[in-house]
Structure 1
Amino acid sequence: MAEKFLQAERYEAHRPHVRAVAYRMLGSLTEADDALQEAWLRASTTDIAEVRNIGGWLTTIVSRVCLNLLRARQARREDDIDGVPQTQGAATVVDPAAEAEMADEVGVALLVVMETLGPAERLTFVLHDLFAVSFDDIAVMLEKTPAAARQLASRARRRVRGTPPPTGHVRQSRKREVVDAFLAATRAGDFEALVALLHPDVVLTADPAVIPSPEPVVILGAHTVAKGAMAAIERAAATGVALLDGECGLLMAQGRGLRLILRFAVQEESGLITEVEVLAERETLAGVEVTAL
């Protein structure tokens, strides 16, 4: 019994690290906690007396559990010919605020882009680029050669980071400052700071999926647009800055999927936002190329 208690105590000491690994692989705190529970069940049946690196050993177990979950998720998507999202089974209940906080910490754009990666690419990228696990160790998990693991990481890296726009670097940098300030103001609930970023004649348009209506909604004027923007980003903690088709904007994720995006037009002379476009229609979002910053 004492040995079991000691083993559980050593597991708990490494739990924050392996939970971070699982979350970055799965993009869901619910699934991450389920993966940890399964990993613990596996670990609890093993004599750890001879294990020198408990953290590395637990990371390997959790990674293999996550890889199986990612492969199962991919198989469900392939079987889902009607495009109806699959409901998850019974799982740990996670506070939505905790989920949003973790997503913001990791980077909403990064999580959205990583959903486009295959299971092996995602595991390799997370373990090597985010947690500095060697390609030799990753190769053993994937039953591949270290060279193949290195190639998977390189391919994932290109897809996650994308290629920055070749021109307009200064303009993009200035636009990001404005978009960052816009997000900061909405998060803080600072209405006056938000109004100060908007041109007096700013125009906000929102498609019918954002505000249910027969036609796109058009809002005019800085004060009115600021109120509309506050409403559009009601869960600002789950919103992040990203490149949307090469232009700096905001995206909001819900669960593992993209919920809506905000595009901006910024006047070069004044640095004020002249247009805000809020899009949520699934077909539109599917055609947007997202690159994490």
Structure 2
Amino acid sequence: MRDLATEFEAERARLLAVAHRMLGSRSEAEDAVQETWLRYAGALADPVARAEIRELSAWLTTTCARICLDVLRSARVRREAYPGQWLPEPVVSPLGTPPPVDGYAPDPAERAVRTDQVGTALLVVLERLAPEQRVALVLHDVFAMPFARVADVLSTTEAAARQLASRARRAVTAPDVPRHTADPVEQRRVLEAFVAATESGELGQLLQVLAPDVVFVGDSGGHFPAARRPVVGADAVGRFALGLFGRAGRYAHRVRARPVLVDGVLGLQMETLHSDGRPIRLVSAFAVDQGRITAIYNQLNPEKLADLPRLGGDDGWPPRW
């Protein structure tokens, strides 16, 4: 008798990576993978359905992708009513751990997107896409699924699937999309300079590490006051950052922080207090290109940080690298 659980568990990490890239939500990805398991178990109990499973990995990926497509279509309606700006749930891990999402190292075919985007930057730009475009891009460009199978997932023709991926690729690489191309060494150098500049309180010093068209996005889920639109431009973002964490900032001297990996890219985990005494937990992800920060993504919605481990007593501001 087949060991269903063992066969499925061997595929779980990859399915979680596929679902997370499509949905931008760890909890929704886990739900999609669980639904995939239920359909797999049900298919094996049906002789007709079982006969269709010729290649397990391909069948599971196709099934999971179809589930994610349904979730994406319904999520459009939910996110239109979302309070303020929306950011994906961050996958946070300690420094020195492998960067792949959910412990799965994507195939080297993750070339077309990873050339210009990784981490939170990639997940944010994927939100620009229609559900069908996102599925086509992730399955083909990230996970190397042939267009014939992508077309099967989308219930369309192979030519149409190619066109969807092509349109998605153009959107992902559009000139107004913040680029993230820095390697880990450059990420650390730039982030250390950013922290030092905010600690100094000098706007001129901070502007040296911000790209002219840098964008700042904050997601509080309506739980805390936050900008309802992205803050754009080095001067505006610099002043906003100093207002938060500079010497005269609202949270000055009350911040604890440590460097972490956020969706596989260097970022910061922070804790501070709101003016009304409520604790605020933050995860900041950064996009870096050519030695400057092109985007800052601040996740402070407590519903998306529920599983985040608390900081220790030794953590403080500025963070220790």
In the other structure, the counterpart of 2:63 is 61
1:235 is the counterpart of 2:269: yes
1:141 is the counterpart of 2:150: no
In the other structure, the counterpart of 1:254 is 299
Matched to 1:15, the amino acid is R
- Aligned mates of 1:202, 1:28 — CA distance in 2: 37
* Aligned mate of 2:22, from 22, 25, 34: 25
Q: Secondary structure at the match of 2:287?
A: strand
- Aligned mates of 2:23, 2:94 — CA distance in 1: 12
> What does residue range 1-293 of structure 1 map to in structure 2 within 5 Å?
2-3=1-2, 6-47=3-44, 48=50, 51-77=53-79, 80=81, 84=83, 97=92, 102=101, 107-163=119-175, 181-183=189-191, 194=196, 202=204, 209=226, 224=247, 234-235=268-269, 238-241=284-287, 248-254=293-299
Matched to 1:97, the amino acid is V
Q: Secondary structure at the match of 1:251?
A: strand
Length, aligned pairs only: 219
Over the residues paired in the alignment, what is the CA RMSD in angstroms? Answer: 4.8
Whose radius of gyration is greater, 1 or 2?
A: 1
Matched to 1:20, the amino acid is A
Q: Secondary structure at the match of 2:204?
A: strand
Q: Secondary structure at the match of 2:144?
A: coil
- Aligned mates of 1:147, 1:183 — CA distance in 2: 43
- Structure 1 length-normalised TM: 0.58
Distance 1:112 1:42, change over 3 A: same
- Aligned mates of 1:95, 1:219 — CA distance in 2: 24
Q: Which runs of 5+ in 1 are unaligned?
A: 86-93, 166-171, 211-215, 257-293
Structure with bigger helix share is 1
